[in-house]
Structure 1
């Protein structure tokens, strides 16, 4: 009937009903790519308003459409795996970057290394330079002077067969294409810090972030993830906060790469990566990026 209200897309998952005449509101997973518009949606609300239930139900519906779905949950101790059912494969950041067991080991695992998950070497190098520039493990005042050298060193290492940031720097350093001042702080931090080691791989082989069919659920677990408050100047953050933010950023970028050309959906919970500039926008998004957060 012409008098009935219309909300949402023509097809997709159910996200609710109109207030007065109870017409279904739908959200498409592919309208953004089909019509070349930004693939971002958000659900906002105060605590207890039902955002988590909405996220779980939406992910489940998208999986029933036969789409790969990745859900990143940065809330410490949260576990939604039971809500997603049997179609869910769950990974914990404890095993991605923990100090023992699982995928973690002692460091340098490179599960979220952009040289591993990026579709092209150029994309991987650009993303690696951006994230290492943001984390900044070099002595004070050295970052700006080393950025061009870092890009050249990574490019040299990749051209000589490296598949991870750490191995690319090791090759470049051994061949005189990277200075100790440039490479050593990165390699040392990767060996000693499992969180940073998840970003900077020290071996070309090993696990890499990927999306299974159905729902892939990535939870923080009990990992020591210290995310900075929203809107805080990057320069004022401590090293642990910079690494935590970088790891979440690489989880988002890596997930988007895993879903590329698969018409999938990437879903997140509060306090995730905000795109902050040209360098941060190099990774192509999934067909849909949906966020559930506090108002």
Structure 2
């Protein structure tokens, strides 16, 4: 299955860019990339999935080839849920599946609760559909403050994008993405940079700072209530060497929280919930896509 086309969806602040794969007549699947990644995140996985489906891999706003959001405001999780809804509306999709990696899976989880009637299946690649951390409550005002102050700092500096040689750009990228690997790093930078006379500049919006400044953290009561709204079937694919992308929280706290989320999803969704652990790190869907392609294909093709 090869790439069919590039796509641009018009929005009030510019456009949302996307890549299209598979059969235009097939059941639609919207692919959501991780924090600071882009639609190229799925280039090595989608060719291994059933070609009878219609896959659209979008760039979130401020990422890849999508327009940056209006100046003056920080990015918020609901901005991205809004983008998913706009893409689905533009494509005239009444019901579709979501395939999300990391941050993209969390946005997919939020969307599945807010628009439950639209989502058929939700596939989470080394991701959590929610962040449930009671111990993080004390940090939330700090995160929200940092998000606003970072925007003000970026505006005050008003510097042009930093220009690096291709090798400097790659090494800088790998330093901040230790699990992605050189080959996959190059693939993400193909869509995540623009070539200028002196070298490469990053495409992404400089207002995008630490992910913890942009995640919504739910209480147990909130989580349990909105989970009951989900109509989709859910597949969670966990990498055995994956890492926590919500970095301030300690590993034991993450495991405790994730175990609670998975157990509640299992008990609430029953036969609509499936869990699989695979060998690989956080970017297993890029580095060893064959480790996840089979279970994803089976899940997409399965009937209730």
The bucket for the TM-score relative to the shorter chain is under 0.3
What TM-score does the superposition give when structure 2 sets the normalisation length? Answer: 0.27
What TM-score does the superposition give when structure 1 sets the normalisation length? Answer: 0.28
Higher relative CO (Cα under 8 Å, sequence separation at least 6) belongs to: 1
